[in-house]
Amino acid sequence: MGEKLGLGDAVLRRILNHTAPKTDVLHRHYVGLNEGDVAGALKLIQEALCGLLVHARQDV
């Protein structure tokens, strides 16, 4: 869902608690995201998923 919403790789990796590939020096050493940095992205994902659920329930 995050990919569909256009969220960046660094944000998605932080949300999923994944580490950057060894070849990605920028994100491995210089970009450090905390919970506050991904809160907006998590809210977008939550709203999108809730929208899908509401849509699915209307089809039943």
Any domain includes 3: no
- Whether 4 is covered by a domain: the verdict is no
pTM of the model: 0.73
Degrees to nearest 5, angle at CA 56 with 42 and 40: 10
Q: Give the total number of structural domains in the chain.
A: 1
> Is 54 a member of any domain?
yes
Residue 44 is part of which domain span? Answer: 9-59
What tens digit of pLDDT does each residue of 3-58 get?
Answer: 999 999 889 988 998 877 777 777 667 777 888 999 999 999 999 999 998 878 88
